[in-house]
Amino acid sequence: MNNQVRALREERGWSQGELAERLAVSRQTIHAIETGKYDPSLPLAFKLARLFSMSIEQLFDPGE
């Protein structure tokens, strides 16, 4: 699934480690989400969307 996580993180000047810390997950999880290798669960997707003040639909694109 495509997403805007990397762009939004870089806009804010956060490293993967900093974002991981804000979400209480590992840096590897952030890397896997950003590269589209892992689709987060609904609770984690909501946490990400809230952190970036967006809706889940704006943050993630299922790319049908």
Partner 1 sequence: MTLQRISWLFAALGLACVAVGAVGHWLLAWPPAAASGWAGAGAGYLAGGVVLRLLPRWWRQHCDDMYAQPAGRRYLRSLWPIMVGYTLALFASIMLIRRGIDSVPLRALVAVAPAFALVLLMRAALRYLREIDELQRRIETEAIGIASLLVSVLYFAAGLLQKAKVVEVDAATAMIWVFPLLCATYGIAKMLLTRRFQ
Binding positions for partner 1, rule: CB under 8 A: 24-29, 31-32, 37-38, 40-41, 44
Distance of closest approach, residue 55 Cβ to partner 1, in angstroms: 21
- Which CB atom, from 11 or from 16, has the smaller least distance to partner 1? 16
Q: How far is CA 41 from each of CA 14, 15, 59, rounded to the nearest angstrom?
A: 22, 22, 14
Instruction: Kindly report the backbone phi and psi dihedral angles of residue 27, in degrees, each rounded to the nearest multiple of 5, phi listed first.
Output: -65, -35
Which is closer to partner 1, CB of 24 or CB of 53?
24
- Can you point out the beta strands (E) in 1-64? 2-3, 60-61
Judged by beta carbon, residue 11 or residue 50, the one nearer partner 1 is 50
